[in-house]
Amino acid sequence: MDATMKVTLLSIVVLFWSFAECSDPHLDPLTPSEISRVQTIIQNEYPTNHKPTFNYVGLEEPDKLKILSWQSSNPKPSSPPPRRAFVIVRSQKQSHEIIVDLSKRSIVSTKVYQGNGYPTLTLGEIEEATQLPLTYEPFKKSLRKRGLDDVSQVQCIAFTLGWFGEANTRRIVSIKCHYRNGTVNFHARPVEGVEIFVDVDDMKIVGYNDRYVVALPKAEGTDYRASKPKPPSAPKPKQDHGPGFTIDGHSVSWGRWNFHVGYDSRAGAIISLASYYDVQKQKHRPVLYKGFISELFVPYQDPTEEWYYKTFFDSGEYGLGQFMSSLQPSIDCPSDASFIDAYYASSDGTPVEIPKAFCIFEKYAGDIMWRHTEASIPNELITETRSEKTLVVRTVSTVANYDYITDWEFTPSGSIKAMVGLTGILALKATNYTNTEEIKKDIYGTLVADNTIAVSHDHYFTYSLDLDVDGVANSFMKSNFETVRVKDRNIPRKSYWTVVSETAKTEADARIKLGSKPSELLVVNPNKKTKQGNKIGYRLLPGPMAQPLLLGDDPPQIRGAFTNYDVWVTPYNKSEKWVSGLYVDRSRGDDTLAVWSERNRNIENRDIVMWYTMGFRHVPCQEDFPVMPNLSGSFELRPTNFFESNPYL
């Protein structure tokens, strides 16, 4: 089927995309019983002496066309699209890609991956690798050399190594260790100068360095627990809000919004099938087919031997979903929030529950949605205002030292906002310095406490945003603001600005570096207009920006080339899901969004996906230590001529 025919069929199907419910079991994450079924089916295919490691087990989604067709059917067909799982297992130092039909309890296809890179690390692999130093005699000797005698106080972390031009790589991680002894904040007490290398496939130590000794930062003042700091912390605020939404499985209805909440062990939260009920048109209108964080790229800026490779891809190398934390009522979320559990597959394929992985709640922070005071009418004062209550879907992923709060927020006026919050513990490096006057060279960060450097770094959150603005066939439009000189000499004004719109025809036209030119970016439906003749659309209101400062030929930037532009647009392709590639650990940048986009495909009046990167450049400060207050940023997808007028009226 060629692209034109596919778009035509999608356009026909999308006439019925105005469903009143978004319930769709085909997008629900795998259940514990389904994960167990996958485990049994695959383990039966491998000899007992070569048990596979389950590095990824997720939903193999049906084609978008099939999902939308099923949604539009009334009554529903007796045979819905099959439930399938996509699995990556590691066995005998090979990565196997397997598709399992859950209803038929059989393997549909299997192949051995032959390219560069390795799959996401599992929690089991990380735990086993980080225990190896504790019984390794050279490491114990290094501890004794530093006067650290109690191995039970050692806590280790596994770090991916990246790729720096090597012709051949192995699945090796670096292990860095810390010494608790007086604090739960072990990140604040690194055993600097010692580095252990572990081959994850063989699960054995293959390299060891003890290059230098520096002072171990003190434990005093690093504990962040509420019972420890003095003077006592302020009392916790009471959070009470009235629920006004319904949850049916993974489908949520609130006000005029319907949407589906999904889960993936790599992406974390996935929002799908978001539609808004238009009172004037008396139907639900599609807005967002799917949105999720495709990758979180975190390059640290210390080029020394023990730190240069710390350029992490937290989604592809570690998995934002499998590192999701259980949320605490009245603390992480309001007391009357509703919760949804999540499940992922452990290293051996056993389902693991994350209780209260999602919370969903109404938020009212005293914000105004709209207001106006009219005082010019004789003998009359009019003040009309509406408070804004929104619906929030929240998750928290704790990847080693950082805690990432992610919110999807739905507003009554038709906007979708995505917020991320950065908190937790900084990546800390031990040093002999105690005052900045002692420093005579670049320390690649900030001296935040005695003997403690917090290393500078970036955070790049790249979102996949498959907008279906009132239909599947959309276009990407740039509304450029241009200065015009007034030609009429009778007018004292010399200039004004106007909007000059251009529609991107190919992928190259839609690569945007924000700030390079004053403009607004929109996804529009070129096939529909308002009564006034404006194109129906949604525009991107960007959040924080941190464009890359690494050189283009620096290996971390080659792997993270999807951050070269803040915005990309590609034609929908089911296989193009992860901007950093399917296999990210030790990858070489040959399967990234930047590579896909080189084909420069047609994106005008097509089913398109927008990729947007929100960036934070973090120069740490002393207030970030010992635990960092939440640093947040957000972007908004805002209706632009989507409605005939303010929809909340």
pLDDT digits (tens, 9 = 90+) for 437-482: 999 999 999 999 999 999 999 999 999 999 999 999 999 999 999 9
In this prediction, residue 22 has a pLDDT band, given cuts at 50, 70 and 90, of low
Q: What is the SS3 assignment for 496? A: strand
Residue 19 near residue 277, CB atoms below 8 Å = no
Cα torsion through 139, 142, 143, 149, rounded to 10: 90
**Taking 70 as the threshold, does the pLDDT of residue 7 lie above it?**
no
**Taking 80 as the threshold, does the pLDDT of residue 16 lie above it?**
no
Q: How far apart are CA 353 and CA 321, in angstroms?
A: 12
Residue with tokens 């896909």: 596
What is the mean predicted confidence (pLDDT) over 357-385? 90
What is the model's pLDDT at position 370? 83
Residue 17 near residue 323, CB atoms below 8 Å = no
For the chain, give the mean pLDDT: 93
- Tell me, what amino acid is at 384? E
Q: How far apart are CA 202 and CA 5, in angstroms?
A: 49
Residue closest to 170 by CA, chosen among 222, 93, 226:
93
What is the mean predicted confidence (pLDDT) over 26-31? 94
Out of 1-5, 280-284, 485-489, which region has the weakest mean confidence (pLDDT)?
1-5
What is the model's pLDDT at position 438? 98
518 exposure class (CB count in 10 Å sphere: 0-12, 13-18, 19+): exposed
Residue 430 near residue 442, CB atoms below 8 Å = no
What is the model's pLDDT at position 2? 52
Sequence-distant (≥ 6) Cβ neighbours of residue 12 within 8 angstroms: none
Active-site choice (278, 314, 468, 566): 314
In the chain, % of residues over pLDDT 90: 85
How many H helices and E strands in the chain? 7, 32
What is the model's pLDDT at position 78? 66
Residue-wise pLDDT tens digits, 310-333:
999 999 999 999 999 999 999 999
Out of 39-43, 379-383, 595-599, which region has the weakest mean confidence (pLDDT)?
379-383
**Taking 90 as the threshold, does the pLDDT of residue 5 lie above it?**
no
DSSP letters for 145-181: HTT---GGGEEEEEEE---SS-SS---EEEEEEEE-S
Residue-wise pLDDT tens digits, 339-351:
999 999 999 999 9
Residue 311 near residue 299, CB atoms below 8 Å = yes
Q: Is the pTM of this model over 0.85?
A: yes
Q: How far apart are CA 455 and CA 445, in angstroms?
A: 4
Residue with tokens 């009132």: 470
Active-site choice (276, 289, 309, 402): 402
What is the model's pLDDT at position 238? 40
Q: What is the SS3 assignment for 579? A: coil
Residue-wise pLDDT tens digits, 352-370:
999 999 999 999 988 888 8
Residue 290 near residue 577, CB atoms below 8 Å = no
Residue-wise pLDDT tens digits, 47-98:
777 889 999 999 999 999 988 888 877 776 767 788 999 999 999 999 999 9
**Taking 60 as the threshold, does the pLDDT of residue 187 lie above it?**
yes
What is the model's pLDDT at position 367? 87
Out of 72-86, 130-144, 591-605, which region has the weakest mean confidence (pLDDT)?
72-86
Active site residue 402: yes
Q: How far apart are CA 579 and CA 577, in angstroms?
A: 6
Q: Which two tokens stand for residue 394?
A: 């929240």
Measured in Å, how far apart are the chain's first and last C-alpha atoms? 44
Which domains does the chain possess? 32-113 (3.10.450.40), 252-425+457-618+627-640 (2.70.98.20)
Residue 491 near residue 485, CB atoms below 8 Å = no
215 exposure class (CB count in 10 Å sphere: 0-12, 13-18, 19+): middle
Q: How many CB atoms sit inside 10 A of residue 26's CB?
A: 18
Task: State the DSSP H helix or E strand holding residue 555, giving kind and residue range, or none if neither.
Answer: helix 555-559
Residue closest to 483 by CA, chosen among 503, 460, 505, 500:
500
What is the mean predicted confidence (pLDDT) over 40-50? 87
**Taking 80 as the threshold, does the pLDDT of residue 33 lie above it?**
yes
Active site residue 210: no
Residue closest to 539 by CA, chosen among 641, 643, 611, 609:
641
Residue-wise pLDDT tens digits, 638-648:
999 999 999 98
What is the model's pLDDT at position 648? 83
What is the mean predicted confidence (pLDDT) over 184-190? 96
Q: Which residues of 389-408 are buried (b: 16+ CB within 10 A; e: fewer)?
A: bbbbbbbbbebbbbbbbbbb
Residue with tokens 């049994």: 40
What is the model's pLDDT at position 23? 57
